[in-house]
């Protein structure tokens, strides 16, 4: 509350950050801008960054920005190759399905295609199963992705097997990601089995995403590959972070057994015991679930813990949560 400190903080922001008035001053000329941070597209405010970009004297006419907090592991540039082949921004945005992201500006903006493909025309074509299967042979990853999305949305028979086969054989990392994302929506045996391949994929984002998916499914068979990834994929910080963050959703004994097994087998020698300690601490850190189920915990904190279940699947305490729901004495 010290006015002097407040003034110093404000001056620091002015010197080190980009403020709204500066956007107007530098007149952005990028025709389209994608914002990956929170609130840059918060149109509820009288003034916001995305609005400044399109209303400045520069040539920017379209933005893709977030109105609220945005997921850290979203794919903000998914299918972006379609824009380079002539798709309109609005057509492209229909395939991204990011709830908190919006077009601010002109959705009809399109760029001239860099090759023989006219993605704008593809979007206008009526759905044809044979045409989509033909597009799977395209040399361009996002044309294949376009076809996979359309086959999925139109209930192509055998779509799950097709997605699995394509994931296993495609050399395009973005095609493999699309297959994994669509398989998650189907959530069948193929999806559960493909996760074992995904966690060792060459593309870090697929590995990172597969960890989150494994934790959502919650099978104990996924514990060992996650512990192995934490120890041996040790240059991928987000993979390790996701593993340690979600170990508590699995059976505690299964996690400890996997830690012991990986540590006995691994070729990794450096920081081995330190990694064991981090993993065991993450496994034993289940106080949130216990406090949620305890009536001795304050209601404020129990509500907060309930909200956290949207991001972390508490498979191990499902029985306790069901009992809580049926307890008439609970508020």
pTM score: 0.86
Give domain limits for the chain: 3-78+98-105
pLDDT tens, 41-66?
889 889 999 999 999 999 999 999 98
Over the Cα atoms of the chain, what is R_g? Answer: 24
Whole-angstrom distance, CA of residue 164 vs CA of residue 193? 9
The per-residue pLDDT for range 251-283, each reduced to its tens digit, is 889 999 999 999 999 998 788 888 998 898 888
CA distance 211 to 215: 6
DSSP readout, 227-290? HHHHHHSTT-HHHHHHHHHHGGGS-HHHHHHHHHHHHHH----TTHHHHHHHHHHHHH--HHHH
Q: Which of helix, strand or coil describes residue 115?
A: coil
pLDDT for res 166: 98
- The confidence score (pLDDT) of residue 81 equals 94
**Cα–Cα distance measured from residue 249 to residue 315, given in angstroms and rounded to the nearest whole number:** 5
Q: To the nearest 10°, the Cα dihedral for 48, 51, 56, 62?
A: 140
Query: What is residue 192's three-state secondary structure?
Result: helix
pLDDT(289) > 80: no
Cα dist from 31 to 28, 40, 97, 111, whole Å: 8, 17, 22, 9
DSSP string computed for 37-59: SSSTT-TTSSS-HHHHHHHSSSS
């Amino acid at each position: 509350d010290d006015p002097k400190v407040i003034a110093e903080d404000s001056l620091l922001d002015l010197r080190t950050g980009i403020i709204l008035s500066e956007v107007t001053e530098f007149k952005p000329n990028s025709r389209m801008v994608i914002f990956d941070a929170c609130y840059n597209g918060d149109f509820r405010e009288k003034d916001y960054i995305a609005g400044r970009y399109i209303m400045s004297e520069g040539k920017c006419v379209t933005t893709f920005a977030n109105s609220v907090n945005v997921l850290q592991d979203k794919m903000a540039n998914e299918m972006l190759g379609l824009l380079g082949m002539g798709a309109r921004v609005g057509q492209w945005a229909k395939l991204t399905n990011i709830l908190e992201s919006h077009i601010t500006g002109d959705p009809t903006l399109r760029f001239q295609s860099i090759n023989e493909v006219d993605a704008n025309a593809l979007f206008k074509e009526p759905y044809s199963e044979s045409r989509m299967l033909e597009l799977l042979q395209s040399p361009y990853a996002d044309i294949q992705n376009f076809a996979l999305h359309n086959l999925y949305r139109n209930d192509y028979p055998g779509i799950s097997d097709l997605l699995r086969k394509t994931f296993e054989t495609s050399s395009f990392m973005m095609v493999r990601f699309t297959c994994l994302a669509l398989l998650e929506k189907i959530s069948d045996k193929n999806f559960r089995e493909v996760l074992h391949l995904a966690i060792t994929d060459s593309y870090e984002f697929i590995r990172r995403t597969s960890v989150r998916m494994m934790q959502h499914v919650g099978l104990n068979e996924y514990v060992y590959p996650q512990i192995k990834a934490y120890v041996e994929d040790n240059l991928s910080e987000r993979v390790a972070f996701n593993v340690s963050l979600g170990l508590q959703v699995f059976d505690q004994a299964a996690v400890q057994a996997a830690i012991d097994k990986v540590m006995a087998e691994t070729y990794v020698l450096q920081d081995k015991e330190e990694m064991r300690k981090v993993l065991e601490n993450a496994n034993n850190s289940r106080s949130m679930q216990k406090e949620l189920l305890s009536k001795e915990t304050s209601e404020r904190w129990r509500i907060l813990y309930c909200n956290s279940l949207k991001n972390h699947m508490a498979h191990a305490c499902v029985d306790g949560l069901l009992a809580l729901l049926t307890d008439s004495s609970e508020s």
